[in-house]
Amino acid sequence: MSTSRHQPIAPTVLRRLDAGAGIDAHRHDDHQIAYAARGVLAVATDQGHWIAPANRAIWIPAGAVHQHRAYGRTDLHLIGLTENPLGLTTPAVLAVGPLLRELIIAHTNDAVSTPDERARLRGVLLDQLQRTAQQPLRLPLARDPRLAAACAVLTANPADNSTLATLGLKAGAGERTLSRLFRTEFAMTFPQWRTQLRLHHALILLAEGHPVTTVAIRCGWSTPSAFIDTFRQTFGHTPGRRRS
């Protein structure tokens, strides 16, 4: 990641970003919640990439160098916190239910002007964060060059259905070696990682306005219904509803 800027205090603010816009690499002394009420938000660090649609938020711990990118027109709500109710030291994607969503939006609303109002909102927000669940929506970055080479092939074309053995030939590693690297570096199997990659790309394409059928084909699902089932299991609703 490029040289970062140091912003001692993580801001609590609403930022409206055009499609493709971003915030360059930086870090805060405070923790931060990044939530896109509209659009899709991606956060990158030197550990990997996290992506969140409108029913997910991204937790960014204090000191983590990170950058943001918006897909589709994005309403980005940023909340700085000195507290760490989750006890997390690495970025994570969090489930955002209706109440937590409204608390995040209200907390970045300029109409909430008095210190007492903001303190009450913050207290309920922290309580809700303690109850929220982490979501497995992370694309880790490979350290081993053979694993990185295999991942690069599919990242360039998520619809590529190459087997692990075929990828191994391109990456200069055996099938068993690659399988082991996926488990040791990513803590997931190759099929699990490929599904994460495809969902990551699917969210981006949906945010850019592509039809569900097109997204399914471009991301490697055999049928649109197979894509819809995977999307529903992961996000709790269909991709068509997400775009409405």
pLDDT tens for 162-198 read 999 999 998 999 999 999 999 999 999 999 999 999 9
Predicted confidence at residue 126, as pLDDT, reads: 92
Q: What are the boundaries of each domain within the chain?
A: 5-138, 141-242
What is the pLDDT, as a whole number, of residue 134?
Answer: 83
Residue pLDDT, tens place only, 146-155: 999 999 999 9
Q: Residue 45: is its pLDDT beyond 80?
A: yes
Return mean pLDDT, the chain. 90
Tell me what percent of the residues of the chain surpass a pLDDT of 70. 96
Q: Rounded mean pLDDT of 4-22? A: 85
Q: Looking at residues 9-23, what average pLDDT do you find?
A: 88
Domain 5-138: CATH class, spelled out: mainly beta
pLDDT tens by residue, 84-125: 988 899 999 999 999 999 999 998 887 666 778 888 888 999
pLDDT number for residue 1:
60
Check if 5-138 and 141-242 are the same fold: no
Check: CB of residue 40 under 8 Å from CB of residue 207.
yes
Predicted local confidence at residue 31, as pLDDT: 95
Domain 141-242 architecture:
Orthogonal Bundle (1.10)
Nearest partner of 93 among 40, 19, 156, 142, judged by Cα? 40
Mark residue 9 as left, alpha or beta (left: phi above 0; alpha: psi -120 to 50; beta: remaining).
beta
Backbone angles phi, psi at 70, to 5 degrees: -100, 140
